Amino acid sequence: MTANPLDFERCYRALESRDQRFDGQFFVTVASTGIYCRPSCPARTPNRINVGFVPTAAAAQRGGFRACRRCVPDAVPGSPRWDHGATVAARAMRLIADGVVDRAGVGGLAATLGYSARQLERILTAEFGAGPLALARAQRATNARVLLTRTTLSMTEIAYAAGFSSVRQFNDTMASVYATSPSALRGSRTSPGSTDQRITLRLPFRKPLHRGWLQHHLGSHAIPGYSTATQRILTLPHGPALADLDIADDHVSLTLRHLDLRDLGTAVNRIRRLLDLDADIAAIDAALSRGPLARLVRVAPGIRVPGTCDAFASLISTMVGQQISVAAARTHLGRLVSELGEPTPWTGDDGPDRRFPAPAAIAESGAGVLRGPRRRIDAIVGVARAVADGDVELHPGVAASQLRVALLARPGIGTWTADYLTMTVAGDPDILLDTDLVVARSAAGLSIDRAGLASAAPWRSYASMHLWRHALLDPPDTSGDVR
């Protein structure tokens, strides 16, 4: 029994409706067949007596259930329970999704969170029905399934790329999770083939999603040499990769090139966080529609809070952009990338080809490259040194409150910068950017006072994005690109 047991009646009604909005929020176990499914599985609704509900795929697998090959329950958006959660369990889940257990083991995960391995095991089992090893195992199985169905790599290459320690472990896990051999699983789906490590994936999300806002954000925050509106370099544990993004009506198409396949899960997780694809957007829009932002939600449903693929790059970009125009910030950041960023193994013919400078590079040489007031340059160089020395933590598992306090303690970082980074790096859904001039003017123009803004809790980050979008994209077009 988990500390937060799922309500059977609510979950069964969702199962009967086959509502895709619940996919990833819980999983359905069917005792009569021994399989587990997503709530929207098209198969006939099983009898109540045979049904159970668990919070994670790992919990289903731990109970001896196999993944349904009809609805592929691991190919769903992530749960908003840990997408935005501030609990230790939620923060741990974000780190597991980022591949920390595969790289540093359970001990490394626990140390990052400041807990013992035994404490963390108890916390995760109580909250999600499985411990860190089981949760990481479920992620490895998902990565392996993607590689099996999207590449022509050999079984041995896939086993080690997905994070398994041996081919035997890979075979045993795939048989346990999918009730079939890896070769049969590969044969059951169409593989486009990939010998140059070019993989195209469809990333699902809960509808609606406002494409125009995400596209505007990606374009306005592009850095010459490092990113564009549709491409960006991912700095991953085993080397850089190039990500191409195409936001469609019902999914995001992600093409990864030059990828070390051991980083597949990490790359996908970071893109999902960048685009806020795991948000329970219907619930958020419904909550905001009951307050003074109702008109904005009607005009532009599905507004997301863009996150980040690289927390350090976001930190430096935000500090560089303080009190100057977006165009000027791009110029400064382009120069920083050009002079201090390491070249990628590929050429500019493919797209952006310089990595964002490492913390140590900016700490050592940033003062000679950055332009502007000396106080701001010193602040940027100082925080880069603090990150390089480990004095400031920037990772998906950092507590939002801890990050905000650490940032405010740094010279040259004010309330707006700390709030914005707490929202984008730590994923805090309840940050009101009321010190932002654009947000404040947008609220004033709509006659929304502080009490009205406060009523948007616990979704004030999304309220801030609605006000931002309204100011930047309306007028001239008040209809928005609503999808």
Domains and CATH numbers, the chain: 81-187 (1.10.10.60)
Query: Which helix H or strand E contains 283, and what residues bound it?
Result: helix 281-288
- Give pLDDT tens digits for 6-60: 899 999 999 999 988 899 999 999 999 999 999 999 999 999 999 999 999 999 9
- Residue 475 — very low, low, confident or very high, per pLDDT cuts 50/70/90? low
Tally the C-alpha atoms within 13 A of residue 381's C-alpha that lie toward its C-beta.
17
- Told to judge if 37 belongs to the known catalytic residues of this protein, a careful annotator would answer yes
- Told to judge if 71 belongs to the known catalytic residues of this protein, a careful annotator would answer no
List 11, 23, 37, 41, catalytic entry: 37
> Which range (118-122, 336-340, 393-397) has the least confidence?
393-397
SS3 60: helix
Mean pLDDT of the chain: 91
pLDDT score of 195: 42
- Give pLDDT tens digits for 256-308: 999 999 999 999 999 999 999 999 999 999 999 999 999 999 999 999 999 99
pLDDT score of 192: 46
Q: Could you identify the residue written with the tokens 């966080």? A: 273
Residue 88 has pLDDT above 50, yes or no: yes
SS3 369: helix
For residue 167, what are its two tokens? 């081919």
Residue 482 has pLDDT above 70, yes or no: no
Q: Quick one: what percent of the chain has pLDDT higher than 90?
A: 82
Q: Which residues contact 478 (CB under 8 A, 6 or more apart)?
A: 299
- Give pLDDT tens digits for 169-216: 999 999 999 988 999 988 754 444 444 568 999 999 999 999 999 999
Rounded Cα distance, 224 and 459, in Å: 33
pLDDT score of 149: 86
Cis peptide preceding 42, ω within 30 of 0: no
pLDDT score of 474: 82
Residues pairing with 242 in the sheet: 233, 257
- Residue 252 — very low, low, confident or very high, per pLDDT cuts 50/70/90? very high
Q: What are the backbone angles phi and psi of residue 126, rounded to the nearest 5°?
A: -65, -40
pLDDT score of 197: 64
What does the pLDDT average to over 74-101?
Answer: 87
Residue 430 burial (CB count, 10 A): 18
List 83, 280, 353, 436, catalytic entry: 436
Rounded Cα distance, 108 and 60, in Å: 25
Q: Quick one: what percent of the chain has pLDDT higher than 70?
A: 95
Sign of CA dihedral 65, 71, 77, 79: negative
Residue 481 has pLDDT above 60, yes or no: no
Tally the C-alpha atoms within 13 A of residue 236's C-alpha that lie toward its C-beta.
28
Q: In 349-483, which residue ranges form alpha helices assigned H by DSSP?
A: 359-369, 374-388, 400-408, 415-424, 437-445, 450-454, 460-473
Rounded Cα distance, 354 and 223, in Å: 10
Residue 141 burial (CB count, 10 A): 24
Cα dist. 53→3, 119, 203 in Å? 14, 25, 24
Residue 370 burial (CB count, 10 A): 24
- Give pLDDT tens digits for 379-428: 999 999 999 999 999 988 999 999 999 999 999 999 999 999 999 999 99
